[in-house]
Amino acid sequence: SFVLLNNQITTRENVKIDMEDRGYNFGDGIYEVIPIYDSKTFSMDEHLQRFEESAAKIEIKLPYDKSLLKRLLNDLKEKNNITNGIIYIQMTRGVSPRAHLYERNVEGLITGFCREMPFPVEQKHSGINVFLTADIRWLRCDIKTINLLGNTMVKRKATDENCHEAIMHRDGTLTEGSSSNLFIVKDKILYTHPATNLILNGITRQKVIKLANENDLTVVEETFTLKQLREADEAFITSTTQEITPITSVFGDIQANFTVGPITKALQQFFKECVE
């Protein structure tokens, strides 16, 4: 398969990463996951903008401009002949003798690949179980860093408890999923955590808020409690790979059950109309 290495499309065998790459030693890097529908990328500009913002937040410089990056990612998609799936791109601070102190604004090392990946048709229809647990992550969840141990550990736990995703709470309020954002619906009003340092401001999250507003639904970007989750009418997660997936049961720190409700279904329909 073809992959991206800095400004070159090459084959995977040609990519050799040094053992002192800071991504490998420290998780010192950032990433994006961009969806492909019917051979076309969706929300590429929004993802690349967030990529650039994450880079700026940790003071890594893009080695070339966003328009070239966009061209390269489109080439990568074409060369691999992807119909429905994702582009993964990451950028690390590159190679330097292992030491905590980093040099500011060095040019990052970019790698990327594409993969065919079916979107979760059945889960979007029937909903998923989620496992609610403490948010053990750091205080800069707004950065889309490859440093994801807090996320991977809660995901492992959720899977061990036969749940499809972990959702997390901090100081009595819900934050987000291990790789998704979280919404609840109560009396036809949507609630989701505000885009602060405690969550990743998902591109799908932003799209759902926009679609809701365009369709006369109220979205309140305020924190909500475990009790509000338990008493909600509907709940769902959003992400590039999960789109809008309803939650039917919550296990873990509280228990709750939901049906796949009318607002979730309406938003799924609006979203579908955007991507086709």
Query: Which active-site residues does the annotation give?
Result: 144
Q: How many residues does the chain have?
A: 276
Quickly count: other Cβ atoms within 10 Å of residue 31's Cβ: 18
CB nearer ligand PDD, residue 204 or residue 264: 204
For ligand PDD, the nearest residue by Cβ is 202
How far apart are CB 101 and ligand PDD at their closest, in Å? 27
How far apart are CB 82 and ligand PDD at their closest, in Å? 16
Distance CA 181, CA 193 (A): 8
How far apart are CB 33 and ligand PDD at their closest, in Å? 4
User: Is residue 84 at the binding interface for ligand PDD, with CB under 6 A as the rule?
Assistant: no
User: Is residue 179 at the binding interface for ligand PDD, with CB under 6 A as the rule?
Assistant: yes
- Helices in the chain by DSSP H: which ranges? 22-26, 44-57, 66-80, 121-126, 149-160, 203-214, 226-230, 262-275
Distance CA 205, CA 142 (A): 13
| Long-range contacts formed by 52-57: CB under 8 A, 24+ apart | 54/30, 54/143, 54/144, 54/145, 55/30, 55/91, 55/108, 57/140, 57/142, 57/143
Q: 17 to 36, contacts with ligand PDD by CB under 6 A?
A: 33
CB 76 within 8 A of CB 11: no
User: Is residue 200 at the binding interface for ligand PDD, with CB under 6 A as the rule?
Assistant: yes
Among 76, 91, 174, 203, binds ligand PDD (CB under 6 A): 203
Among 180, 248, 264, 268, binds ligand PDD (CB under 6 A): 180
Quickly count: other Cβ atoms within 10 Å of residue 214's Cβ: 9
Distance CA 102, CA 79 (A): 35
CB nearer ligand PDD, residue 245 or residue 248: 245
Residues 122-161, mask of contacts with ligand PDD (x by CB under 6 A): -----------------------------x----------
Distance CA 101, CA 32 (A): 25
Which of the stretches 9-17, 70-78, 98-106, 196-204 binds ligand PDD when contact is defined by CB under 6 A?
196-204
User: Which residues sit at the interface with ligand PDD, rule CB under 6 A?
Assistant: 33, 151, 176, 179-181, 200, 202-205, 238-241
